[in-house]
A and B are shown apart, each in its own frame.
Chain A
Amino acid sequence: MGAKAIVPATVRSDKHKDPKKSKSKKPKSRPAQLLIDSRADVADSLMTPIVEATISAQDTSIYRAIELKLVSGGLLTNDPIVFSNDSSLFYLAKDNAVAVYNVQNGEMVQNFSALRDSEGLDRAAIKSIVADSQSQHGVYTFSADHKARLWNADSGEQLGSWDLEASPTYVAADPLKPARFFCALRRRRQRGGQVVSRYTVCRIELNADGTMQRKDLFKANNLLGLAVRSDGQWVAAFSKFRVHVAQIRADERIVRHAWSMTERVSAIAFHPTEPVLAVGDWRGRIVFWFCVDELEEDTEDREIVRRTHHWHAHRVNAIAFAGNGLMLSGGEEGVLVMWQLLTETRDYLPRLGSDITGIAVSPDQMNYAITLRDNTVRIVSSVDRSLVSLLQGLKFAERGVALTQGLKLAENHGIEQMRRARALDADPFTTGLVVHPVTHALVLNGEPGRLQVFSPLSDRHLTSIEVAAYTRVSGTSATNISRPHVDLVQYSSDGTWMATVDSRRADASQGLMSVTSSYLKFWRRDPGDQTYKLASRIDNPHTGGVSSIAFQPVLRKGRESLICVSTGYDYTFRVWELQQTAASSYDMWTCRNSAQYRGLQPKSAAFSADGSTLAVAFSGAVTLWDASTCAAPVGVLVASASTPELKGVSFIGASSYLAAWSDERLDVWNMLTGTVWWTLAMPIQDVFVHQRAELLAIAAYQIPESSTASVMVLSPASPNPLMALHHPGGVEAVALIPSAKSGKSGRSHPDTEQGQPKPDPLDSNLLVALTPSGLLSVYGAESDTPAFASSDSKKAPGLNTSGQAMESSAFASIFGSQTEQQQQQPGKTEMLANAQVRSAMRLVRTAVQSSYVNAPYHVLPPVPSLFNQFATAQLVPVATTASKELVSNTEKMDIDSDTEMVDDEADRKEQAADAWSNAEFLASMRRGFKSI
């Protein structure tokens, strides 16, 4: 890879626009070159991505070491999950890593990956996971780099590795013998200009010495799935219209058979005890083939007895058999159907929210895991069908993967993929990344009609806000079901109000007109449960739809007059005002006024930090309005006559700068002089303007021939990026989120030492980049201590409950034993207590740092809990060496309670001793206080 790449980011000065500029200290423009470290290789993608990005621009070189803190999000539901052998854990593949979760609480326990060296992402993607039948938590992974690996899921340790010499696509364990697998190995072959995937289904045995034995069973093209019977003698695989079956007789003779089908096959499964192969098809039928017993090479198709079970209206995505003669099936309807085969009755678990893509039954038959298309895994108890745990990923990942991998999968799922792409067209990613002003969580499009609140730092789905209520129905491929879609979301600067725009388009297959209705909704945060409650709804605020909304910043807390502006496709923008009359205690939003400008279409609007000025982008011009009247524009900013249509406009923090951007360029205006301060010409994908700090982040389009997209963070004063990086594989959106650590404690920076403090953006902020495939990469300033709790800290609570909770027998779960309750409870309460302790300790620490003056008294923990911290903090200078040690010990204890690594017994004893002497000392202190 070349060590240098020039990003098409050029800085241009508009000299003819403003002659005064020579006086101001605008930096001399010169093409900014981004020198990329040679490590910025494609292969070195996610784990050790680029990292240094230097910019040689001015004499003060702006260099910042940036590191990838973590990658969250991603698709969890590529394949059905796999239960561990003792049913206490489940595994799922996340690209090249295996994530291990606890069944009982859905907490991530472990995360491990083979990608440590310079292997590529795509090549190392895990294709299949199989639980090891010999050990409790052993797990085999089969990845696209032709390797099989054995891991210990508790420690994340790799125990062995085997080379398979071909890409394993579908793998199933052989029930007869451990470390033996049935495997479909893939080879791609070009045939007549068409890529054909040629599969060899074989039985492989992995030996402890790293060797492998392989026995080929049959070959087939374009396989879509594999099933193995519980006696280990029968293997079935299917492609679009063919089902292959092979029997391995006791004398190792192999009997093969293949049938052509009239209907497309979508799923197969063997009955564990009956001689039945169940075949699900695209018409929703599940056909039982009684073929397993007496199959010979020459058995005719019509000799086989079949029996049809038909409930599903659409194709059957998954079939699974539970032990007690129960068959589970699911499809696009989002209904789990439980077939009681003996009595021929059915039972349903309806309204799961999305298409079912996979079903897994835990080895002890206690839980069913349902994988849903919307990136959700539901673990359901088999006893009472109650929800045991729920794992939700970033919903964006599902659509992202569907779009990016659409071409790759087209060979297998052509029509299906097209349908999904069409459905996603109706549900595009329109909200962008919105950062909640209080919690700093990311808010973005979720399922249709919903917003997802996601925490990128903890990689956790926080909540889902239902903006438009609708009943999910599934239809045939010909029907055109419209789903509501959330177009926009914005929060007021104190987080009290949320404004959303949702729309629902209905262009049915018949009729000329498409009825599009859009709704502007204002939600007020309920201080009680911290949820947003709908306060006002405006039907069709703009004919044709709303293009943007913006809130006026709330200057004084508790001030109840608030305005919000919306721009629409009807060539007007409207100002909405919160009405709160003393007589009626209802909140109501009404339209205060609407305005137009030269019959142009407004695309974006923004308020200045003091709320007095409103900027609205009309075509290529930014118009400025007095926010209190909005009668006529008080000023118009036009960068040049040929400015392309502006996509967005925003004031930058509390500074006097305004940014306006289109697809090709970004202009920053100085509002004091009314001139263009600088211009950046580059293909812009997304711009994020930080609300508090004076920062903006820009994501560029991915250049076709390069495999990376550049992201930079700038301060409005100068076009030289404070920080720039190349992100592998394109960036859909960027956001800056304040990190938990305050900006004050930032370590000293070369620039600050020279007396002139520079804004150090990534010391107090983290850069989040959303890739098209739904991964959230979080970048932060390189530092020795992590700026936030990494996901590792969550390992312990998950493990706590994993041990004995699963030992419970079926009897206990049916009759609800008390011991089980008790076994589950301690883990939970411990977690709770830990969380409380952690938050209390954090408060204490901040309180100590701020000398008790800054925090209002009602948010502080009770005085007794503050006392120890306070006293020890105060006593540092006068204490003797012994008490110094004491203090350091208490600090150590804090850290320990944070990371919850209290498993070392000796350590604990030592701490206890220290704590005791500490307590004694503090008690004497208290007495002293009392006597005063």
Chain B
Amino acid sequence: TCGGTPWLRLRYPKCTAPGPLRDLVAILVLPATTFKIKPFMRPINCHGHIMSLFKKRKNTKVTLSAFPFPFSHQMKVKVLSRNPDDYVRETKLDIQRVPRNYDPTLHPFEVSREYTRALNATKLERVFAKPFLASLDGHRDGVNCMAKHTKSLSTLLSGSCDGQVKVWNLTKRECVRTLQAHEGFVRGMVVRSCGTSFFTVGDDKTIKHWKMEAPGYGEEEEPLNTILGKTVFTGLDHHQKDAVFATCGQQVDIWDERRSSPIRSFTWGVDSFSAVRFNPVETELLASCASDRSIVLYDMRESAPLKKVIMTMRSNTLCWNPMEAYYFTCSNEDYNLYTYDMRYLDQPVTVHMDHVSAVLDVDYSPTGKEFVSASFDKTIRIFPKDGGHSREVYHTKRMQHVICIKWSADNKYILSGSDEMNIRLWKANAAEKLGVLAPRERQATNYSQKLKEKFQHHPQIRRIAHHRHLPKSLYHQTKELRVMKEARRKKYVNVRKHSRPGSVPLLSEKEKHVVTVVK
């Protein structure tokens, strides 16, 4: 079959032992003169293949001399061959191409890797937790009350114990205006809903109405209106929309802005009130904290108060939840905060514990998910609205008893006014990066946030996320309180054990602090 040419070779498939020549399909007869390279060393077993040979070398003379198989003999083969152009960027100016394949078998250890990421994210969160931003100093006495501007995020008003009111620019962190509003304490302050003026009450039994903008050059600092009351006012709040405000002192008064005498006065056998707040949604409703350990609810349209709940200790202030306005939280003298549903006052919805001294002020975040509390124990704590314990505690060496607290309207900052004449600006989220985030940065933070949430109950992550440094005194006080509580519990258990069954009821923490509800 070789036709006398010396360049022909036959080859068998290698895979098996040499068998019959079944793969030999065609034999090429190649004259030496036209073909320079070594003769082909391969069997040819496909029709197309031979045709391509014809095309490749036109001057080659090919003679097909043996055909054990018909030409239909075909082998189909495809081997992975990627075009790098599909995977590599075209120019240096482009971003890199990242093909994705989400096949789970290509990504093993999904859970462990996510856990590791969550652990890293939690650690980084603690590393970057630097909540303190600025201290605004300028008051010459302790800061007694603060008010958020209703229209401007960067404006804050503060009143001190020497009767001075200061208006602050928070972005520049400087005082833009100072006025001597009262003699003695400034007890309460509120900005009108339009944002053009504000009210102050003080120990000098006056209510003063001020313009928001500073007086022009040469003009004297004078209130728009001054109302002289009969008794000392201790608190003040303005209606959401109407030209009506409420003050508290020996009684709760509702005032029309245009009149100099209250349009309504509420008393319920109580000698003094410490705070009054309008409901942000049901705008005619008010709540006030009285010194007889009660919280009283009023309807402005009615002549008598609605109902009150009497607790074991006095509440200092209260704040309505801005989103679910049937909830309010009150800060109590017994180191706790209580969230009540105003429809069911017989027991609080949640008891928030963690402070080790009286809680002086509370303010909700605008989202209504969290609130911040200021305490006599020189700390600020942030609580989730339905959590019994705080998620965060802020303190500094220099901050004394925190008297007033505000959560900024953009949900990012917390402002605290304390005894040692300073107003402090804190981040609401200690590890948050301020400023504009790039989209990828935001994506990364969102992702790590989700991961932290997903693995939050794992002991290692939980331990790191919950760890907070506390001043030594506070730490020991916490411990002491725990011991005291445990002792009380033990005693109660013993009392129960040695009493007639059923005579001493088992009280839950929520039930313990409510004395009665009066309607």
A and B from one complex: no
A residues in contact (CB < 8 Å) with B: none
Name B's A-contacting residues (CB within 8 A). none
